[in-house]
């Protein structure tokens, strides 16, 4: 059933004149007549009685009128529900501990009037997350997606690079270093439990290992971040990598050290994926926030060449420098 025909019938019934209804709807009187005729043909009844003084609902029209009004009200509610800005922006941050979650949280703190629905599609890889965006399951997702895997209809904007830091216990040989060159990590075991094959972070760490000759593994069970912190605190050889903006907490007695990596600075490139042409005002505000108030990245950046999106920075991808 044509909603515009219903709206036309209700308008004629309320105004009593085809021309008055046409003026109110912004269409011609002929268009009003065609809509009414089509609606009456669809229902198989006469809805309006035409007289020299105007039009009034027929007995069938009187019965149909309140139903038509309820249908139009439901249509209006449905349209309002999906108009840009009428619902919260649904954003996938992958993991609530890492940089995207923290920066979206800061965005929310600075723009509390902007409605957000933050989710973590942690079981999906980047390609699956992009499909979720395309299908409308979420409005946006932070992922390191290869350029050749960005589906049609999706925009990829590299707006946030997370510099990597080495996290070690107090007994590690590099515990007191103010900063470390990535090539200096060759020969040290870097343990990152929970790396899942086929994910974008698995591809990232594989590329990082190849570029700088690093030994990165995920051997053994993954008991979560707290167990990882305990293990690092007790070890004089294990290290892990975390993003500068990642939020991890540990007991003070652990005395863990976060050591910046420099010369170059490896970054994890969080690319914002969203539907091309999406006009949701909170998405626009979030993108503007990331461009202007998001975390800054040093000039000596290293990132995988395969990552999608063009960021704010001049991106360098050098081969591993001499140790």
Q: Where are the alpha helices (DSSP H) in the chain?
A: 3-15, 18-25, 29-43, 59-82, 99-110, 126-135, 200-212, 225-234, 281-293
Residue with tokens 């010369």: 263
**Tens-level pLDDT at each residue, the chain (323 residues):** 889 999 999 999 999 999 999 999 899 999 999 999 999 999 999 999 988 788 999 999 899 999 999 998 888 777 765 665 568 999 999 999 999 999 999 999 999 999 999 999 988 889 999 999 999 899 999 999 888 889 999 999 999 899 999 999 999 999 999 999 999 999 999 999 988 888 899 999 999 999 999 999 999 999 999 999 999 999 999 999 999 989 999 999 999 999 999 999 999 999 999 999 998 999 999 999 999 886 777 788 999 999 987 544 333 333 333 33
3-state secondary structure 105-128: HHHHHHCCCCCEEEECCCCCCHHH
∠ Cα 228 124 136 (to 5°): 140
Place of tokens 């991808």: 317
């Amino acid at each position: 059933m044509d909603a515009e025909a219903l709206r036309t019938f209700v308008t004629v019934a309320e105004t009593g004149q085809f021309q008055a209804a046409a003026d109110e709807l912004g269409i011609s009187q002929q268009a009003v007549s065609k809509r009414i005729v089509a609606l009456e043909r669809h229902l198989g009844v006469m809805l309006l009685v035409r007289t020299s003084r105007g039009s009034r609902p027929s007995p069938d029209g009187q019965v149909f009128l309140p139903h038509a009004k309820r249908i139009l009200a439901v249509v209006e509610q449905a349209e309002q529900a999906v108009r840009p800005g009428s619902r919260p922006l649904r954003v996938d941050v992958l993991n609530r501990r890492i940089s995207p979650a923290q920066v979206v949280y800061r965005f929310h703190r600075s723009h509390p009037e902007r409605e957000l629905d933050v989710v973590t599609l942690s079981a999906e890889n980047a390609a699956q997350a992009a499909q979720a965006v395309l299908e409308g399951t979420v409005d946006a997702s932070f992922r390191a997606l290869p350029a050749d895997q960005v589906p049609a209809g999706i925009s990829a904007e590299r707006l946030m690079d997370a510099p990597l830091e080495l996290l070690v216990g107090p007994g590690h040989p590099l515990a007191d270093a103010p900063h470390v060159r990535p090539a200096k990590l060759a020969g040290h075991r870097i343990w990152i439990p929970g790396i899942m094959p086929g994910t974008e972070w698995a591809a990232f760490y594989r590329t990082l290992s190849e570029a700088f000759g690093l030994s990165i593994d995920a051997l053994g069970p993954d008991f979560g971040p707290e167990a990882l912190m305990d293990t690092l605190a007790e070890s004089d050889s294990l290290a892990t990598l975390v993003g500068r903006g990642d939020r991890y907490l540990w007991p003070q007695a652990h005395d863990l050290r976060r050591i910046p990596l420099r010369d170059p600075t490896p970054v994890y490139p969080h690319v914002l994926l969203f539907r091309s042409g999406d006009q949701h005002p909170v998405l626009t505000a979030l993108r503007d926030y990331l461009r202007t108030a998001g975390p800054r990245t040093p000039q000596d950046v290293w990132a995988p060449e395969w990552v999608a999106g063009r960021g704010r920075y001049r991106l360098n991808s050098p081969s591993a420098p001499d140790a």
